[in-house]
Amino acid sequence: MTDKVEMLRKEPGILKLFTLFKDKYRSIGRVGGTVSISGFSQAETESIAGFLGASADKLLVKGRVSLTDYEKAMKTNIFSDYTLVGLLEEVLGESIITRREESDMYQKQENDFFQSLINDYPGGRWWWEWIQAKSTDTRWIWSLYREASDSLREELVSVYNAYRQLPSARQFERLPLFSQRMTGNPHYFDIGGVSGKLLLHCLYVDQYLKGNRTEGMPKTSEEVNELLGQYMLMRDDLWSFVTCRGFLAESDSGAHPVWKAAAETDSVLNVPIKELVKLKKIWPVHGEVVWVVENSGVCSTILDYAAAAPVVCTHGQFRTASWVMLDLIVQSGFTLRYSGDLDPEGLLMAQRLKDRYQDRVSFWRMDKSSYISSISEEDISGRLSKLAALTSPELKEIAEIMKIRKKAGYQEALIAELVQDIEGQGDGYIVPLSPSSQF
């Protein structure tokens, strides 16, 4: 810093004035405009007026200082070899750029950050571009970027490398063991930590882009477990279970004795994923068709009247255990008949089954007439937009009338028909009903 600049720095109010000049320049992107000196003392105002060659009283009345006037005054004194911006930088001891220049610089840094990821890991472009688009689910990631972009890059790469080495199909792996295998640290992907959250985000985006997820990031513990389970990762192998009756199963050791005993006694089983992953085959005791019901209350009633019929209850949204069991049934050569609620969410669940099992699954009382028979007073106007994700012609047909009626239909109104359908397919399934029996 030169002597003349040091002398200027010591002038009353100069640092205060130059800070205002800097903010004005950054804001409008050029030397122009005025700044208020209403909060300046008499001595500070006199110092500024002296530099400008103006009357302090007139400056007080005016109450503002023009940046261009100040720069013009510099041309008549010892600072004639400076621009105003150059003098601001000298006096304030910092580089000064406009907000637009700063924004452009940050944008270039962001672009370079993601281009580097795309260049080094092109297979992850889908995730890098999703984050770069700054959707609401990435706000917390951008906070990490602003805090320490280099650290974030390391974690993103670690997560992507882990994504590329997820467990193979039909071979579940506990999350801590997967974490140990990938990083040497069993807690690296703990869900409460940054890397664990990034892993969930990576899996969420993957599911969304594949059309398997319409809702946002998982929030509850069950939702987190379900998302991990779709990639054969288990945080807890007891959290997910499926309810069934009328099946036999086989493991590497042969026929499973628990399933055999349940079949012999017509008992209902709640089977956790911990036990399901030990099996290699599941099949119905009777028939070639497996009846799959979403609603547990409806399923329980069906079990009361359809003795020995092979029935699976998924308890709402499909849990990982449900997928494992249904996969094993289909792989064993049997077909599924699925019945769910006739509302947007229920149709989307049916679509997921159709996408996964194609012609090995058919819909059960999920048609226009069943919808009309089961229609309730529940208004679903705000949820109808979800129907746009449907691709099955059968489900789209229901969706069209649902858009008109704007009401939900529920399985409870169809229980009698559901039981009769099983009776028509089965071989002595049905328990005789008294005339007063109520479904």
In the predicted model, residues of the chain with pLDDT beneath 50 are 427-439
How many residues make up the chain in this entry? 439
pLDDT at 434: 33
Return all residues near 32 (Cβ < 8 A) that are at least 6 apart: 24, 67, 68
pLDDT at 435: 31
Q: Count CB atoms within 10 A of the CB of residue 269.
A: 18
pLDDT at 190: 94
Three-state secondary structure call for residue 61 = helix
pLDDT at 257: 97
Which pTM value belongs to this model? 0.66
Q: Count CB atoms within 10 A of the CB of residue 336.
A: 20
pLDDT at 312: 97
pLDDT at 1: 65
Q: How many CA atoms does the CB half-sphere of 426 hold within 13 Å? A: 23
Contact status, residue 229 vs residue 167, Cβ threshold 8 Å = no
pLDDT at 18: 96
Domain boundaries, the chain: 3-96, 100-234, 241-425
Three-state secondary structure call for residue 254 = strand
Residue among 150, 407, 172 at smallest CA distance from 273: 172
Look up the CATH number of domain 241-425.
Answer: 3.40.1360.10
Task: Using the structure block, give the residue that is written with the tokens 């929030």.
Answer: 219
φ and ψ of 62, to 5 deg: -65, -45
Three-state secondary structure call for residue 42 = helix
Q: Tell me the per-residue pLDDT of 113-146, one tens digit each, with 9 for 90 and over.
A: 999 999 999 999 999 999 999 999 999 999 999 9
